[in-house]
Amino acid sequence: MFEVIPIVIILAFLFETMDSCAGMGFGTGLTPLLFVLGYEPLQVVPILLISEAITGFTSGFFHQEFGNVHFKLKKPTNRETKVMLNIAIIGCFSIILSVFLTYYSIKVDKTIIKTYVAILVIIMGIIAMIKIRYSSNNYKPKLLTFFSALAGFNKGVGAGGYGPVVMLGQLFSGIYEKTATAIVSVSEGFVSIVGFIAFLFIPIISNLPIEIDFLLLPSIFTGGFIAALLSPYIVRVFPNKIWKIVIPVYALAIGIYVLAELFIL
């Protein structure tokens, strides 16, 4: 059924704009709102994964085009490409585990885990805000691997918050804010496409029914795709000192939003 839903287009556009500018928030922010609008998890989760895959690669392409990042696919690859692949590979393993847990309904107390992720994001956001004045751009690869693994673990147990933890982890590891945004966009593209494939294949292998409803796809794709074209240009134009403030503040807002969703809404 082909249907274009204006409110979903607007929400997808707003959250993808922030996701491509600040490296986080598309899944964490949009998913609960779509549930509030009355859509079911199987209408939302796989569609967000496929949309995030398309918009992640699109925004990554334009981040490269506008000079926010310089990926080098031919050997020898550069550090930016290696960091992106490092984050993407850890994320891919995690999302397969996450989809597996979802299909087999393995009971994990989501409230406790989501609370932990929200508090983690809030603490990281506060530290990033405190560090604004003192941040250095000395690359710390071990710290980045630690945060990628931590974000992967969170996603693997189905708590989400992958974008904020990876994004802030990159900032703590000394990666330039504009470039970190581009790296996380492309990594999320890889992670989402693997997640979508896992969503299709795990039930096939296990003889479980696949129930994917494509109703929301045209609307989320429209809002997300336009945002993915626009955001890299916004990142390019505004100076990095703006993103140094916007990213931690937005992370803090996302952490509070997740806590509010759990305990107030």
Partner 1 sequence: MGYNMENEEFQNEEVINEIGYLAYIMDTEMTMFERMKIKKSSLYRILGAMTIYSVVMILFANFL
Q: Of 151, 184, 217, 258, which lies in the binding site for partner 1, with binding defined by CB under 8 A?
A: 217
Nearer to partner 1, 180 or 191 (CB): 180
Give me 246's structure tokens.
Answer: 């916007």
Question: Is residue 146 a contact residue for partner 1 (CB under 8 A)?
Answer: no
The one among 18, 48, 175, 254 contacting partner 1 by CB under 8 A: 175
State which residue, 26 or 61, has the beta carbon closest to partner 1: 61
Separation of alpha carbons 50 and 28, rounded Å? 15
Contact 83, 173 (CB under 8 A): no
Q: Is 66 in the site for partner 1 (CB under 8 A)?
A: yes
- According to the binding rule CB under 8 A, does residue 234 interact with partner 1? no
Asked if residues 166 and 187 have their Cβ atoms less than 8 Å apart, the reply is yes
Task: Using CB under 8 A, pick the residue from 131, 218, 249, 262 that binds partner 1.
Answer: 218
Based on the shown chain and the rule CB under 8 A, indicate whether residue 211 belongs to the binding site for partner 1.
Answer: no
DSSP 64: H
Per DSSP, 74 falls in state S
Please list, in sequence order, all residues whose beta carbon lies within 8 angstroms of the beta carbon of residue 202, skipping any fewer than 6 positions away: 99, 100, 103, 208
- Tell me which residues in 104-143 interact with partner 1 (CB under 8 A): 137, 139
| Residue 2 interacting with partner 1 (CB under 8 A) | yes
Which of these ranges, 59-67, 90-98, 107-115, 148-156, lies near partner 1 under the rule CB under 8 A? 59-67
Q: Which of 236, 246, 259, 262 binds partner 1 (CB under 8 A)?
A: 236
Among 27, 11, 12, 16, smallest CA distance to 163 is for 27
User: What are the distances in angstroms from CA 132 to CA 77, 108, 118, 145?
Assistant: 30, 36, 21, 22
Determine if 221 is a binding residue for partner 1 (CB under 8 A). Answer: yes
Tokens for 107? 């009971």
Give the tokens for residue 200.
């299709």
Q: Give the residue, chosen from 15, 225, 250, 257, that forms a contact with partner 1 under the rule CB under 8 A.
A: 225
CB 13 within 8 A of CB 227: yes
Which element (helix H / strand E) includes 208? Answer: none
6 binds partner 1 (CB under 8 A): no
| Beta carbon of residue 24, minimum distance to partner 1 (angstroms, whole number) | 18
Contacting positions for partner 1 (CB under 8 A):
1-2, 58, 61-62, 65-70, 72, 78-80, 83, 137, 139, 174-176, 178-180, 214, 217-218, 221-222, 225-226, 229, 233, 236-240
